[in-house]
Amino acid sequence: MKIATWNVNSVRTRLPTLLDWFESAQPDIACLQEIKCQNEQFPRAEFEALGYNCAVHGQKSYNGVAILSRYEIEESINGLPGNKNDDHARYIEAVINAPKGPLRVASIYLPNGNPVDSDKFTYKLEWMQRLHAHAKQLLAYEEKLVLAGDYNVIYRDVDCWDPLVWANDALYAKEVRDAFASLMWEGLTDAYLAKDGRAHQYTFWDYQRGAWQRGHGIHIDHILLSPQAADVLESVTIHKEARAMEKPSDHVPVVAALDA
């Protein structure tokens, strides 16, 4: 069973590219971020035609997350708990009736947080604290759990080309990397680190400055697993080829294969 995460940077602009990739990669479950549309604008019919059920938490213009699944979606929850004033669509969670039993999946679009001296950075840290608290609750269920998405965190120095370039950036700030580490220490396994872990294998290349052509990317999309999910993890693949497609997203899909 293959589960993908992909920040698509507008599901409507990207639709032909997405459908091409879905037909060739054949993920069973996909967590999408930055769909940048309202629920009624989501191209549900096109994905249903490929055999996917859709759980969508959209928003006008910005953000927006979704979970697509070839298996039945038993229930879905929109929004990260803990702050009624947070109106960004950055979190959706679903319980999926996977072949070997229920699988809880979340699609996560963690705030960018730049610049670091702004309320956006405060919001990022607050959001990470809430994610931590919620993940701790979910881990207590001792279920197969997948928290996949765009974390906007450069966790290791080798997850970028040159750490000096990112020294004052909200993706690399010490508080942010510490918060990510603290989340992992609750008992989550980063699928890529568990099965591959090579340096300089990126998931995002900026449209600007010829970042793709120069090989100047960053690794910020992660698939985090509960122990029960990590036990059945088989492999992880970064679909770098998607960055060379026509009208590409600036992110590429990361796919984990699970015996689940």
Partner DNA sequence: ATGCCACCTTCAAGGTGA
| Residue 214 within binding range of DNA, rule CB under 7 A | no
Total chain residues near DNA (CB under 7 A): 28
> Measured from the CB of residue 24, what is the shortest distance to DNA in angstroms?
20
| Residue 37 within binding range of DNA, rule CB under 7 A | yes
> Measured from the CB of residue 247, what is the shortest distance to DNA in angstroms?
5
Contact 249, 242 (CB under 8 A): yes
Contacting DNA (CB under 7 A), which of 28, 34, 93, 159? 34
Give the Cα separation of 173 and 169 in Å (integer). Answer: 6
Q: In the stretch 131-150, what mask flags binding to DNA with x, by CB under 7 A?
A: -------------------x
Could you say which residues in the range 97-126 bind DNA, by CB under 7 A? Answer: 111-112, 114, 120
Contacting DNA (CB under 7 A), which of 28, 36, 57, 135? 36
The residue (of 43 and 227) whose beta carbon lies closer to DNA is: 43
The residue (of 52 and 204) whose beta carbon lies closer to DNA is: 204
> Measured from the CB of residue 121, what is the shortest distance to DNA in angstroms?
10
Q: What is the number of alpha carbons within 13 Å of residue 252 lying toward its C-beta?
A: 22
Contacting DNA (CB under 7 A), which of 23, 40, 45, 61? 61
Contacting DNA (CB under 7 A), which of 50, 62, 141, 234? 62
| Residue 259 within binding range of DNA, rule CB under 7 A | no
3-state secondary structure the chain: CEEEEEECCCCCCCHHHHHHHHHHHCCCEEEEECCCCCHHHCCHHHHHHCCCEEEEECCCCCCCEEEEECCCEEEEEECCCCCCCCCCCCEEEEEEEECCEEEEEEEEECCCCCCCCCHHHHHHHHHHHHHHHHHHHHHCCCCCEEEEEECCCCCCHHHECCHHHHCCCCCCCHHHHHHHHHHHCCCCEEHHHHHCCCCCCCCECCCCCCHHHHCCCECCEEEEECHHHHCCEEEEEECHHHHHCCCCCCECCEEEEECC
Contacting DNA (CB under 7 A), which of 20, 48, 157, 206? 206
Do you find a cis peptide bond into 227, omega within 30 degrees of 0?
no
Q: In the stretch 3-32, what mask flags binding to DNA with x, by CB under 7 A?
A: ----x-xx-xxx------------------
> Measured from the CB of residue 40, what is the shortest distance to DNA in angstroms?
12
Which residue, 170, 63, 194, 173, is CA-closest to 120?
170
Could you say which residues in the range 221-250 bind DNA, by CB under 7 A? Answer: 247, 250
The residue (of 85 and 208) whose beta carbon lies closer to DNA is: 208
- Contact positions toward DNA, by CB under 7 A? 7, 9-10, 12-14, 34, 36-37, 60-62, 111-112, 114, 120, 150, 152, 171, 204, 206-209, 218, 220, 247, 250
